[in-house]
A and B are shown apart, each in its own frame.
Chain A
Amino acid sequence: MTADKVLPPEIEKVLLDEKTIEGRVTELAAQIDEDYAGLGSLVLVGVLKGAFVFLADLARRLRVPHQIDFIALSSYNRGSISSGEVRLIMDTRVNLTGRHVLVVEDIVDTGHTLDYLLRSFGARLPASVRSCVLLSKPDLREVDVAIDYVGFEIPDVWVVGYGLDYAERFRTLPYVAALKRDALEDGQRSEPDACA
């Protein structure tokens, strides 16, 4: 499918095409099914906006019973998150106490946002808290944060698509692509979850 489409001019190249993503999401779902079999009370918490595409595909491949919830975050400083600056805009609807919580994120780079979420959810006395992340950029990590399920480790290039945006653009491309350097000028990635 990707090959037939004309790439937007700002796109350098496709890093992960639809087939590759689909295959890996299926593997992640199988692993989660195995790990949570029989445990019950699993809740997937998607981090808006970036994780909605990944979550929609992941959940449809899971067989283990689960609920789905969302949170929305912001930063106290405009721009990128360094540490301890995460502001919860919308909390989960369900009470996480006693539940098995799986945080679903599109990307982790510095790790500050995920670290905040794991600590925040851990304080609610859940049965367990784990994380499932489609993309990880280990080169950018500033906090040692545990990622239990990783889709792909990628180099430090600016990626868009499959939920990830650049100034709200390219978020809904069905593949993950690298943005050309000259397309990265005055904008910022718009969402703190994407700076994580």
Chain B
Amino acid sequence: MRVPDDLERVLISGEQLQARVAELAAELEAAYSEGDRPLLVCVLKGAFVFLADLVRHIEMPHEVDFMEVASYGSGTASSGVVRILLDLERNIQGRHVVIVEDIVDSGRTLTYIVRNLRTRGPASLRVCALLTKPARRECELDVDFVGFEIPDEFVVGYGLDYAQAYRNLPFIGVLKREAYSPSP
């Protein structure tokens, strides 16, 4: 696929993504036993592309569920507390849960989601993130399964958007600075 003009470069190619996603599926399968039937919880919207590829590689019995959250607006970002727009369909009490995220940067929202889900008494709760930006982390947070550690750059594609665009690129690209900050 053609690289859009607003991208500076491709950070992770489609082939690299596919290979790593297959490895992550194997890592997940190794972490659970057959009867565990882990529930993979996708945080919309960004993670749905990653989830769609990841689960097709997992042969062990498992289920998927979805959550969508939104910020309350100005002044509340630092707490990480978000409004749940779509809650899980499944009751997770006693279940093995894996939160599937596209990217973890500050980790604030994810820390809140972990806290929220823990109150429901899951048997275990782990996090699987395609991308993580360790330089941006503000919360102490264990990401149990990591696809790629990346530098602090504005990335798009494979589910990640900028103003709702670029989500459908089959690779991860770095957005040009002038594409998201007005020129001086």
Contact = CB atoms under 8 A, between A and B. Distances in A.
Contacts, number: 75
B85 interface: yes
A182 to B, nearest CB: 19
A173 B52 CA distance: 10
Interface stretch (B116-124, B127-135, B164-172): B164-172
Nearest to B57: A174
B73 to A, nearest CB: 14
Given A67-B164, A90-B68, A171-B64, A53 B170 contact: no
Contacts of B159: 56
Interface stretch (A57-65, A79-87, A122-130, A135-143): A57-65
A90 B86 contact: yes
Interface in B145-184: 159, 164-165, 167-170
A168 B165 CA distance: 31
A59 B68 contact: no
Instruction: Decide if the interface of chain A is mainly helix, strand, loop or mixed.
Output: mixed
B45 A174 contact: no
A69 interface: yes
Interface residues of A, number: 30
Contacts of A94: 164
A5 B59 contact: yes
Contact of A171 (B63, B70, B85): B63
B125 interface: no
Interface residues of B, number: 33
B62 interface: yes
Given A49-B64, A52-B48, A68 B86 contact: no
B63 A168 contact: yes
Nearest to A48: B66
Contacts of A66: 168
Contact of B49 (A56, A70, A89): A56
27 contacts: A46-B48, A49-B89, A52-B42, A52-B48, A52-B51, A52-B52, A53-B56, A55-B52, A56-B49, A56-B53, A56-B159, A59-B49, A59-B168, A60-B170, A66-B168, A67-B164, A67-B165, A68-B45, A68-B167, A69-B45, A70-B66, A90-B86, A93-B68, A93-B85, A172-B56, A172-B58, A173-B56
Given A62-B168, A65-B165, A70-B48, 14 more contacts: A48-B66, A52-B51, A53-B55, A56-B51, A59-B167, A68-B167, A69-B45, A70-B44, A70-B66, A89-B86, A90-B68, A168-B90, A172-B64, A173-B56
Interface of B: 1-2, 42, 44-45, 48-49, 51-53, 55-56, 58-59, 61-66, 68, 70, 85-86, 89-90, 159, 164-165, 167-170
